[in-house]
Structure 1
Amino acid sequence: MPDGSNLTLTRDLLDFSGSLERVAQAQPNAKAILAPGRRPLSFAGLIRQMTDVRETLNSWGIGREDRVAVILTDGPEATVAFLGVTSGAIYIALNPAYTHGEFEAYLTLLRPKAIIVSAAEETPAREVAENLGIPTIELVVEEGDPAGHFVLTGGSHSFCSLPGPSQADDVALLSFTSATTELSKIVPVRHRHWLIAAWDRVRRLEITPEDCALNPMPLFHGHGQFLALSALLGGASLVCPPRFDLIKFFDCLERYPVTFYSASFAIHEAIASQLPNYRHIVRNINLRFFKIGSGRLDRAVVDTLEEEFRAPAIELYSNSEACIVTANPLHSACRKYGSAGLPVLSEVAILANDGTILPPGHDGEIIVRGPCIFDGYIDNPDADAAAFHKDWFRTGDMGHLDMDGYLFITGRIKEIINRGGEKISPLEVDHILQQHPAVQDVATFAYPHSTLGEDVAAAVILRKEGQASEEELICFARESLAHFKVPRRVIFVDELPRTATGKILRKKLSEIFEDVLKSAPKPAQISQIKSTATPLETALTGVWKSVLELDEISPDDDFFLLGGDSLLAATLFAEVSAVFGVELPLKAIFDDAATIEGMAEIIGETRSASTAKAAYKPRSEDVVVMNADGHLPPLFAVGGNGGHSIGFAHVARLLGPEQPFFGLDSVGLDGKEEPLIRIEDIAAEHIRRLQKVQPEGPYYLIGACFGGRVAYEIAQQLTRDDHDVGLTIMLDPSDPLMKQKTDKKISAGGMARLTRSDATKSFVRARLNLYWSELKSLPWGERYQYARDKLGIMKEVATTRDLHRGNPTQLYWDAVFRANKMAGASYSATSYSGPVAVFWCSDRPDDTSKQREDWLSLLGNQLVVSEGTGDTTGTMMLPPHVEPLCEKIRDSLRLAQRR
């Protein structure tokens, strides 16, 4: 194996398969691929797997000049599939989150010889490929196999014109210059291009077999691909967790001897925000460095990460056409803050508008030339002509070199929006919004975002007769675009800034509206927004800022788009009750109370009706209306033990405006009735409610945890009464045979007493424990005042004989929680042959295999089983886990509705 610290590139090092084979020969039993909960795959095993993939594809007529589109979620299989396909064919990675229309556009453009998908996952790519006549190959993972081990099925024997391992001049993979087929230029990356860059990284970063790399980046990004290749070429182990989340990231740091990792600036922002919660892990790790790519990271965040990790940050500048352009040196003494580093392998210069090369200190377009520069775009001679100045590649980015040769990037010429590492074409978003009948013209542009770097906004000119709200246009865009491409704000304008030739000045739009988008909207620039806030709105804004931990919130900002979830909603409503003396049911958050402006109107109306506390009356007493519109059959949601369906807030929104969505809350949350204590009775009551909305089937149901069992019982009761149930979706449902596994018996009368008296005791114990915990966490100087304040509360309770100080909501909620727990303990599910989709939490810390087996024994053949990321049902339904989950839910509903 070559010594990375003293590397001289020779022709044999540009042999992709041969290079990795030499690493394996030097250390056949060393761990190559690692993943949580899986046995490691050795380097020898990796080579066998790569060879098997290549030879299997060859036997199906796929060789070195053939394209294979790989559509897999992140993890060890995606990593090894990437290496295996690249070793003998042209690899194309497509984001599994793409919609049906996006897959159709990409596969039509690229025309791969086959696609590879997971046998265990549903994807619209299957249907698209079938319609286009493209064969689908399934990747099958057997239980107990090492990480990254799989078999490919579905191909048919055919002659291969160019079999065997890829050569240095062969195309390794195709990448894209943007995230849309309308603007994308296809970049062929040859093996000699990326192997030169990868070996150089091994040398510069001193990667050796003593290293262990963690890859939190997706394999449909060049960032993740390049990290995997360079780590393995250096002989390092590679940790390949499933889809990124912070819990998995820190768990991998604790579980494995990670010495470096690489991630986008958006992921680093998230890591930095959670470092205080994981210091017990961070202080025991030994990172040599961590690499930042896919955008620039704020200096303060870099400083925090370096201090906590006790390791240097390596910032670099790269693109699809040139691989790595510049990078900061490994040793911190050679770095310059704010710089993208020194040129790597290639020459870098700054080009003036007149075509001359500028001296140090002058801003211009960054140009680059060298051995890693691509040879030209595929089938796009016009783009080739525009991309080169003589033999220099024009990056389209602005910057300057200092006297020492360090590159400083000062701006972006290209208009592609970089939202947390996701590249978004403004023209693609324009094209979708222009299809709305009320829109005359539109310009999509980027605006600064504190954590994502950039976010998406659109300036819209409405037709003279046209009417459309900001929310309506956002919902319209959601129907056709992946979630990360949908504009977060829409601004209504009279005209768009343009050049003399009519080109829209998108950068100018960003400058004009930057302050507007960061603060309260102004009536001259955004329609239907009040120019001044009322005193009540101002007071409410303070409460919202405190609960959501945000510095700026506008009166029309949506609670959930600001990052709100079910727990924060409960906290917000408790604060509103305490501060304003008005009780609002949680379901109001899906109605007018979703914004500060709407909540202020509700509070004002309630105060006008009575000087005493009065409950706001939502639009429906029977269901929680999360989306009453849409042409699809309604979906009815049952929450967990807490009884609230508000946990489905993100699910309801991500399923889109075309999906009507209603929540079914437990009886007793408002204290007007005793909670129900049998799942059979809970299901019957929910049926009574949902049939007021939808008298006849087919019915579509979804439930989480305890709610999964309730939804299952609803389906059974509806079926027994000859109603059509289209699909029952269960999200990590709790034990179906709990009654048979417990000896605890509680009578109905005992349960009724428990829900009030015992819940009160539970509330008191919990509150005293909370006070004690908070007291211990305070500095000594603050404890006296804290204790005095709490004693004052106790005195007030004793005087008024009102334990809940006028707000018994928590008592009611506790009673429902305990009633649902006991209802679950006394229920055993029976077999059911109707259509069911079950999504398990992939990262639960406890062993639920027996529970899963019990469910599978009860369900019939009309079954879809899959996994969603997250360690609990709650986290499964929160970002970032909820987005891929909703794709699976949507696919399951489509499949059921086609039956």
Structure 2
Amino acid sequence: MTGDWWFEIPGNSIKENLDSFFHLAVAMNISTTVGDSAKAVQPQHATIGDAIRLHAATQPDHPAIVSTGLQPLTYRELQSLIDETRVALRAASLGRDARIAVAMPDNINAALAIIAVSCAAASIPVNPKQTLGEVEASFVKLKPAAVVLASNESSTARTAAERLGITIIEATIERTRIGMRIGARQASSDRTASLADGPDPESTAFILQTSGSAAEPKLIPFSHRNMLAAAARNQSWFKLTTQDRCLSASPPFYSHGLKVTVLTPLLSGGTVVFPADGSRFSLSEWFEDLKPTWYSAGPTLHRMVLDQVRTEANAAKRHTLRFILSGGAPLPQNVLEGLRDTLDVPVVEHYGSSEAAQIAANLPPPGPAKQGTCGVPWSGIVRIVDENGVDLAPGHQGEVLVGGPTLISGYLDAPELNRASFSDGWFRTGDLGSIDKDGFLTLHGRFSEVINRGGEKISPLEIDDALMRHPAVAEALAFPVPHPRLGQDVAAAVVLRPGMAATPVELRRYLQDQVASFKVPRRIVMCDQLPKGTSGKVVRRQMAAWLEANEQAAAAKSESSTPASTKTDDVDPMLAGQLVTIWERLLQTAPVALDDDFFDKGGDSLLAVEMLAEVERLTGQSIPPSALFEARTIRQIAQKLSAKTARADVVTKLNPSGTSTPLIHFHGDHKGGFYVSRLATLLGPDQPLFVIDPHDLGKERSPLPVSTLAADRLRLIRETQPHGPYRLSGYCAESLVAFEVARALKAEGETVEFVAMIDPPTVNARRYLQFILSTLRLARPIARTTVDRLGGIIWYKFSMLDRPWKFSIKQRVEAIKQRVRRLSGSEESRAPVEKGRGPGETRLPTLTESRLVQFFNMDTTEWPPGVEEMAFYSPKPLAVPVLYFAADYGPSAWRRITTDITTVELSGNHFDAIKDAENLARISDSLKARLRR
């Protein structure tokens, strides 16, 4: 080091320059050499201006800032600009605590002005692309004493300043070389006094404004000490020297652009290089002409660079890069690997915040790095804590807290926000993270952005990354949307790469192999560009509102056209009607239109599996779970499952690969037998369940004797299971068919192990009732309709005898009381509301209050199919074990038919026997116990 270097800085003494050197040495975490020995130095002050003054003294002609087509700016010239700016501001009575906004039209001049003002006062970088309203709101909140603007250039900032009466300081920009003159040139007599009044380390160097993605923008005062510590950290991590050149393509009015790509290289004595246009990548300009040794940017710019360099020949030999940094958001794996392989240079990710600068970083070789992480945090500045603030062990996820010398003291003018965000020197980042056993930090999203899908916590970052791995996807953003059953569900917006094509169905199918099925977005929206905030970052938490607004606009646009949901000529009406019934039952909502989305109506993955199982049983076609990614509406499903493909057979084999003897079940539900798939699941995969539909399911009634129905089903059973032993079960009236099938099988010499009957209607097993019905049977050829109706009435009347006796007596007493009141005219008859009934459901009528009053005036349209034939059905005794599940109907009459009967009581009524989950569990448990025997 020579002995005369400090004399090149007017107005400074030898002592002042030595102090500046010592101040910078401590701030940059280096040692100084005095004489022959190295010793730690403990100076009192250090600022951004001190650091730049040191470089101007030691390497005055070294380029500080370089840009395409302009003469470079040396450190000597940069120092001169800083000094002149301070003199100009002091002449305008603007002291070191003054807030001065800087609103310049381009990156390089904005960076210059921000640096110069920061060395004299508190600089406020302003985005020149903001609207007039945004700039005015910013000025009203920050109350700048002045604003630096390019001379003779109109802008929203100038208009806002004029409206608000803020002092305007003109900056004259050099046209052929890098540089400017801020304010009028001052006389040398004012110069010394002005230079002496500089900021101290705790003074605010610049005030950054967040993008306001969550609420109104936060004001972040970054001090000189904060910035010097941040630059020292980056210099240590990435081994920056005076020979390094950083390409700055990020706007300097944002934290990353200013701190990382402008001030870090300048405070390290290196060079900042600016392309002519930071939004348009040119390999020859950016890498060959400007010759950077490193650059740092967000994923969008990296993608732009990759798209260009991968088509260039010998791209790896046309640059001087040592490494590439990525921050601001996770870098997709394919982009990282593409840049690394194409340019043959390390690509590493780092993590920081506006409040604390860079926090953790992966390092270029031979430093530590782990793909998919943010790198190792700077020692002692990061904690991972639970909701109570307790530190968590490695590997556990919690909130990331940050401390250390780069952390600001608090937001400006926000006491409540500071109390919520800062505690005992630690800042609550709001990021969800974990540190592994090797010390690497991994982020899992923002606490406020984690999607809670019915209790399943989903990180949107994981979905983003998976989508970005698709070769056609340029940008992707997963976000939560409201869901009526789950609370939240996953949606995603995608921008495709130019010239590439992909559909939401293809992307959902692709994601099936990338993430768990419950994480696959139920809705993927293709768009030209993602909505972004003023900082250029996508605002995830506003995406649901954006999606809703887009859908409303699309709906309004198509109002004049006929809604697709009203058109039925392109689907089979019977199949569509059956699907509507299934959906309304599972979703517990009505009505359901043909073009309603299953998931938008409240469906979830569990209901989807059940729904597809029912559709599969209904149509006889194998339907994979991924089908809902291609057909999500009734219309789409019905079109794929046309009437031509509807099943012709009535036997469905559930758990067909099971090794146990099959259970043949007559499901007896004329609404579709939706419960059987759940019953099959409860019985287990090793128990085959062969399900037989009732006759004329969904068609006109065609009453047939029970014996005839049994004989018809016997043929199907023999085809399905040629030989015994047989195990039969049934629900409702189909229990009677199962019982008669058992009789026919035994007559053919087969073994029937048991018949399980789920709440079968009353059987006509009493001698006196058989006598009455035999008399009516003789009269049927003469007056069949009248006799059948009378038989049905008698059948219903005596069904009461099989109900639990306490319940039966209570109903009879109440019915008689109401009958007396009605006959006396004291009360009109009114049918009580039946609880527990879903839309369109009927039940086997019992002698409740209203039924007794209307006993001889019964509405037979409510009767289930074949009730007349059931009324005349008289079973004969059969030596077969019966497992009887009783809800509305009791087993007393069946004791005359079989002596081996076991009864299991069910809760609720006849229809609850198969709808209620507890009942189904009780049925399956009893069946499994019997099947094991």
State the TM-score bracket (shorter-chain normalisation): 0.3 to 0.5
- TM-score (norm. length: structure 2): 0.45
Larger Rg: 2
- Structure number with the bigger relative contact order (C-alpha 8 A, sep ≥ 6) is 1
- TM-score (norm. length: structure 1): 0.47
